[in-house]
Amino acid sequence: MKVDSVFHELYEKFHQDLFQFLFYMVKNRETAEDLVQEVYIRVFKSHDRFEGKSSTRTWLYSIARNTAIDHFRKHKSWKQRLLENFDWDRQQVQDDKPLPEEIALQNDQAKWIYRSLDLCSVDQRSVIIMRYIQSLSIAETAQVLGWSESKVKRPSTVP
């Protein structure tokens, strides 16, 4: 199978999920779009080294998570910038069709939960997004993070 057809298949199958994951990590549509492009650049460059030891899905999430962490490292005060730049009273993510998560954000309880992500460490946020928003299994989440399943079940409680 040619690389461009494999790449196209990966894009079609996983693009929306990866974008949503990155959006919840960085809480900015433009940044998430840039980061998802960076993910695909990394995938393209490293696809020949993918050994199949994990599922394609967990491999892509690992790349996406590492891309987000690299982004946070480049922007030292990322938590403060998130708080300043994300206006919860204004819908910043607009699309022809609202995402299920966007509809949920209109609910006050859901808003509280999403705001609470700001209090979490990157690891805790990763687990919450992967498990409860992206619906990855405990095993898949552990594989993406390189953790044991028991650590995924009980990530550090100290933000």
pLDDT of residue 157: 53
Domain spanning 3-153: CATH 1.10.8: no
Contacts with 135 (C-beta within 8 Å, 6 or more apart), sequence order? none
3-class secondary structure, 147: coil
Convert 57-84 to b/e letters by CB count within 10 Å (16 or more is b): bbbbbebbbebbeebbeeeeebeeebee
pLDDT of residue 158: 42
pLDDT of residue 134: 85
pLDDT of residue 18: 94
Q: What is the dihedral of CA 38, 41, 46, 47, to 10 degrees?
A: 120
Distance (Å, whole) CA 55 – CA 33: 23
Q: In whole angstroms, how large is the CA radius of gyration of the chain?
A: 16
Distance (Å, whole) CA 40 – CA 80: 28
Q: pLDDT of the chain along its 159 residues, tens only?
A: 565 777 788 888 999 999 999 998 988 899 999 999 999 999 888 877 877 778 888 989 999 999 998 998 887 654 555 555 555 555 554 555 656 656 655 666 666 777 788 888 888 889 988 988 888 999 999 999 999 999 998 766 544
pLDDT of residue 148: 92
Contact 145, 54 (CB under 8 A): no
Q: Which two tokens stand for residue 81?
A: 């910038």
Instruction: Please tell me the pTM assigned to this model.
Output: 0.63
